[in-house]
């Protein structure tokens, strides 16, 4: 004999345990995506000195050291995203990445794009996992 939900075509309602399991998987997946974004940002940050080195103005030692330091921090932060404070560290690095636009205007554009991706992933995480909203979204 078929179950009542099969005859009506509606899926069964998930149990609280299934909801909790889905939230854990969604949390793990979104944190992995956030770590991936930080990794891509680090790669882009490392490629900038190479691309600008051949221009007439060059990049200079100070800018190069700052960009390489930021890239190293992003790689470290990508490994820390699984920790409770990892998202806050990554969010702070988004601000620093956008602020590199003071040195190079192209970095501002790239930084805003990556910050928008970061924000969208945090909103998706909020929807899937039920993390806090507002400013607390950046540190959960």
pLDDT per residue, tens digit, the chain (140 aa), is 445 555 667 778 878 888 888 888 998 999 999 999 999 999 999 887 777 766 666 678 888 888 899 999 999 999 999 998 999 999 999 999 999 888 778 888 999 999 999 999 999 998 888 887 777 777 76
Does residue 11 lie in a domain region?
A: no
Does residue 132 lie in a domain region?
A: yes
Does residue 6 lie in a domain region?
A: no
Does residue 78 lie in a domain region?
A: yes
Q: Which domain does 103 fall in, by range? A: 18-138
Does residue 2 lie in a domain region?
A: no
Residue 1 · residue 99 · CB < 8 Å: no
Instruction: Give the integer Cα–Cα distance in Å for 68 and 78.
Output: 15
Nearest 10 degrees: Cα torsion 86, 87, 88, 90: 90
Given CA atoms 108, 110, 113, 117 in this order, what sign does their dihedral have?
A: negative
Read off the pTM.
Answer: 0.82
Task: Give the model confidence (pLDDT) of 53-65 as tens digits.
Answer: 666 666 788 888 8
Does residue 53 lie in a domain region?
A: yes
User: Count of domains in the chain?
Assistant: 1
Does residue 40 lie in a domain region?
A: yes
Task: Give the model confidence (pLDDT) of 5-21 as tens digits.
Answer: 556 677 788 788 888 88
Does residue 23 lie in a domain region?
A: yes
């Amino acid at each position: 004999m078929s179950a009542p939900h099969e005859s009506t075509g509606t899926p069964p309602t998930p149990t609280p345990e299934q909801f909790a399991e889905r939230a854990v998987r969604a949390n793990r997946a979104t944190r992995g995506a956030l770590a991936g974004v930080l990794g891509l940002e680090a790669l882009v940050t490392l490629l900038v000195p190479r691309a600008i080195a051949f221009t007439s103005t060059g990049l200079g030692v100070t800018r190069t050291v700052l960009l390489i330091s930021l890239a190293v921090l992003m790689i470290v932060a990508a490994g820390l995203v699984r920790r409770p404070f990892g998202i806050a560290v990554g969010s702070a690095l988004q601000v620093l990445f956008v602020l590199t636009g003071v040195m190079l205007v192209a970095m501002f554009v790239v930084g805003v794009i990556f910050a928008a991706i970061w924000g969208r992933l945090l909103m998706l995480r909020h929807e899937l996992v039920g993390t806090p909203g507002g400013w607390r979204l950046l540190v959960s």
